[in-house]
């Protein structure tokens, strides 16, 4: 990808247009223009725009993060954002090459590097604008140069209010009251509202380990063993895309599988359409300070979910799974 030119254009256009007239949408002190025809979703202190062409295997995600207090050093602001937005979630390379341009009290720093987006080669482009006591970041994750113009246009039309963020004491973090069952397992309460696709956007993880030792039922002699340890990374996109990365070791044999498809929610049921279409009953939802836990029962394939499982939360408990999304 033509990364150096893209980084330079992102820096220059931010500095030219930070005083343009108000745009049609706003996130705190940042006014912006949404990419035409792209899917928009909201997450904690951010808005995400996505364009996924499944037939061509192309995608782009643009995330605008809400303004936060600047450290006073634009290079440090960028380094902190790069680590939080690219290195930690996507194992991006630390210390990427950057372009820096100061203008009119603002300083824009932009950099980029390759990432592994759930087994797909992609590129992350981060632009951080610092000034007037605040910092604003835009992250583009894409796998094709054709998405550079809309990413550049999005950054080009940012309009950031120059008023300084007032210093306030952070609100105390409230930790939900956690409950555990008789076996010490965390209880995930049922959702208190209808979950939507926007609620589950992001990367979820599941891991499990099973070790079974078999003996002869008549003699008690050792009769073999079975071992399975697996990890699953699932990514749901705001436009209903689904990406799955499965990694397992079964009896010493490595198993790796990747797949893609679509996801939808109807009532209490989550549908995943892929190589093997399946459905899960949503049983729990818990928001913690550092993670979200989604508890589901399944998978169920061709047959409908049994009525006793729909009616009784204790039925089918052996099929319950906890999916975790880090914040």
Does residue 173 fall inside a structural domain?
Answer: no
The CATH number for 233's domain is 2.40.128
Does residue 101 fall inside a structural domain?
Answer: yes
User: Which percentage of the chain shows pLDDT scores above 70?
Assistant: 76
Residues 19 and 154 reside in one and the same domain:
yes
Does residue 167 fall inside a structural domain?
Answer: no
Residues 49 and 116 reside in one and the same domain:
yes
Q: What is the pLDDT of residues 2-20, one digit of tens each?
A: 444 555 455 444 444 444 4
252 pLDDT more than 90:
no
pLDDT band at 193 (very low <50, low <70, confident <90, very high): confident
Residues 101 and 236 reside in one and the same domain:
no
Residues 156 and 221 reside in one and the same domain:
no
Does residue 39 fall inside a structural domain?
Answer: yes
DSSP per-residue codes, 254-312: EEEEEEEEEEEEETTEEEEESSS-EEEEEEEEEE-SSEEEEEEEEEE-SSPPPHHHHH-
Does residue 180 fall inside a structural domain?
Answer: no
Does residue 187 fall inside a structural domain?
Answer: no
Q: What is the pLDDT of residues 223-243, one digit of tens each?
A: 554 444 546 788 999 888 988
Does residue 313 fall inside a structural domain?
Answer: yes
In the listed set 160, 185, 206, which residue is the last one of a domain according to the structure? 160
Residues 245 and 126 reside in one and the same domain:
no
Domains in the chain, number: 2
Q: What pLDDT does residue 96 have?
A: 92
Residues 128 and 209 reside in one and the same domain:
no
pTM of the full structure: 0.51
The CATH number for 103's domain is 2.60.120.1690
Residues 135 and 229 reside in one and the same domain:
no
In the listed set 103, 131, 160, which residue is the last one of a domain according to the structure? 160
DSSP state of 95: S
Residues 154 and 225 reside in one and the same domain:
no
CA atoms within 13 A on the CB side of 215: 5
DSSP state of 186: B
Distance CA 222, CA 231 (A): 29
Full residue range of the structural domain in which residue 149 is found:
3-160
Q: What pLDDT does residue 65 have?
A: 92
């Amino acid at each position: 990808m033509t990364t150096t030119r893209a980084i330079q254009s992102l820096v220059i256009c931010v500095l030219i247009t930070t005083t343009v007239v108000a745009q049609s949408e706003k996130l705190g002190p940042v006014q912006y223009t949404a990419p035409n025809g792209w899917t928009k979703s909201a997450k904690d202190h951010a808005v995400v725009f996505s364009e996924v062409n499944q037939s061509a295997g192309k995608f782009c995600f643009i995330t605008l993060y809400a303004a936060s207090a600047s450290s006073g050093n634009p290079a440090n602001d960028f380094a902190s954002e790069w680590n939080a937005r690219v290195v930690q979630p996507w194992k991006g390379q630390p210390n990427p090459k950057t372009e820096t341009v100061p203008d009119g009290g603002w300083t824009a720093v932009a950099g980029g590097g390759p990432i592994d987006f759930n087994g797909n080669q992609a590129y992350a482009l981060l632009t951080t604008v610092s000034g007037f006591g605040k910092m604003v970041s835009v992250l583009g994750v894409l796998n094709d140069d054709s998405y550079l113009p809309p990413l550049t246009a999005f950054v080009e039309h940012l309009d950031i209010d120059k008023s300084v963020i007032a210093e306030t004491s952070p609100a105390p973090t409230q930790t939900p009251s956690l409950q555990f069952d008789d076996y010490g397992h965390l209880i995930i309460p049922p959702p208190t509202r209808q979950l939507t696709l926007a609620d589950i956007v992001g990367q979820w993880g599941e891991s499990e380990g099973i070790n079974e030792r078999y003996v002869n039922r008549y003699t008690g002699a050792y009769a073999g063993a079975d071992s399975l340890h697996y990890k699953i990374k699932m990514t749901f996109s705001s436009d209903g895309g689904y990406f799955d990365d499965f990694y397992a070791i079964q009896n010493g044999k490595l198993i790796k599988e990747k797949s893609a498809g679509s996801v939808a929610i109807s009532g209490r049921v989550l549908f995943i359409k892929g190589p093997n279409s399946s459905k899960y009953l949503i049983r729990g939802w818990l928001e913690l300070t550092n993670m979200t836990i989604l508890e589901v029962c399944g998978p169920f394939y061709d047959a409908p979910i049994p009525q006793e499982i729909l009616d009784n939360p204790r039925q089918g408990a052996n099929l319950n799974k906890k999916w975790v999304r880090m914040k």
